[in-house]
Chain A
Amino acid sequence: MMLACLAIALLVFVTVYSAIVSFRQKPGESAAPSWIFPDGTRRPARIFVGIASLMLLIGLGTWLSINARNSSPRSFRFLIPEGYSGWVRVEFEVPGASILPAEAGQTVVKVPYSGLLRTSSQEQYGWAKDDYLFYSSDRVRTLPDFGSGRLIWGKINAEESGSSGKRKYEEFFVGTEQQFKDQAEQAKPKATPKDSRSPATTP
């Protein structure tokens, strides 16, 4: 909110200033150049701005490259038991739980048959392309997560507060579109005549 207010305030100021600069009389005619409306900048100032801009760009580039090298892997590789269908839930920052291993630039999330995994690792944020794979004792195969034959649905990242404090988690459904719709229908609370009564009509 603070940034928005600052941006709007500066924008108002610059709009007025640039309008005055654009439409005021030429300096040669009547208005003399002043520090508010200068008629160009001196050569040393230009050189200073050029060097400062170059240093800023180099610094920004260096910071971004160092940051990219030191950052932890952001994408997940979800390993789901072969034939599993239902909701998968991964809870993050759970004290005492094991950390998630990283392989080839990806964090490996091996989901047990229960569909619930707790880890002490932190939730990853930002752009990422997660991979979903079915695993069994002898092979690993990729699950489609987009297109008509996709098997991954309803992925969410959320945070809930409870008696044990705040908990971050990620959930998604594994199964066909029909299975996803069926479980969504089953999860809907059925309206009873008692629920549908409005308080105004009750005695």
Chain B
Amino acid sequence: MLPFSLYFVTGVVTCFHVYSLLSFVVYGVPLNPLELVALMGSFCLLIAAYVSLFRPRAAGRLALLACLAMWCFYAPAIAQFVRARIRKPLAAQLIVPPTGATTHTVSRPESARF
């Protein structure tokens, strides 16, 4: 039952995650074809979950292929996220968020000249 539970839970979680990302298309976000590949991988993982009840080794191979399909989307996404974190824009580096405040108002200092 362990392979079934593992494949099934991962398939459901990744499927929901990728589907929620795909739903942003409604608001005009361009469609990423890798998201569709990842969604297909999630479905394959669900199929692998049921196959694992009868043929665990074959299910393992199918699950591995499904995972590789999903990494096609997740690996570039993680790389981009890490790159964005490392290369902070200059303006973001200068701002020090005040503790306890929820909204920030940028005002012009009186000494500044424009």
Contact = CB atoms under 8 A, between A and B. Distances in A.
A10 B10 contact: yes
A39 B52 CA distance: 9
Contacts of A11: 10, 14, 67, 70-71, 74
A66 interface: no
A3 B17 CA distance: 7
A8 B67 contact: no
B60 A4 contact: no
Nearest to B53: A41
Interface of A is mostly: helix
B78 A35 contact: no
Interface in B71-114: 71, 74, 78, 112-114
A9 to B, nearest CB: 9
Contact of A22 (B9, B53, B57): B57
Nearest to A21: B60
Contact of A18 (B63, B74, B78, B113): B63
A202 B113 contact: yes
Contacts of B61: 18, 22
A10 B4 contact: no
Contacts of B17: 3-4, 7
Counting chain B residues whose Cβ lies within 8 A of the other chain, the interface size class is: 35 or more
A141 interface: no
Given A18-B63, A46-B53, A49-B4, A6 B71 contact: no
Given A14-B45, A18-B61, A3 B67 contact: no
A38 B56 contact: yes
B6 A14 contact: yes
B14 A10 contact: yes
B112 A199 contact: yes
Nearest to A46: B53
Q: Which of A4, A18, A26, A197 has the most CB of B within 10 A?
A: A18
Interface string B27-59: 000000000000000000100101011111101
Contacts of A3: 13, 16-17, 20
A94 B25 CA distance: 28
16 contacts: A6-B13, A7-B10, A7-B13, A8-B74, A8-B78, A10-B9, A11-B70, A13-B6, A14-B6, A14-B10, A17-B60, A18-B48, A21-B3, A21-B57, A41-B52, A49-B53
Given A18-B60, A35-B2, A41-B4, 14 more contacts: A3-B20, A7-B17, A7-B74, A10-B6, A10-B10, A11-B14, A14-B10, A14-B45, A15-B67, A17-B60, A17-B63, A18-B48, A18-B63, A199-B113
Interface of B: 1-4, 6-7, 9-10, 13-14, 16-17, 20, 26, 45, 48, 50, 52-57, 59-61, 63-64, 67-68, 70-71, 74, 78, 112-114
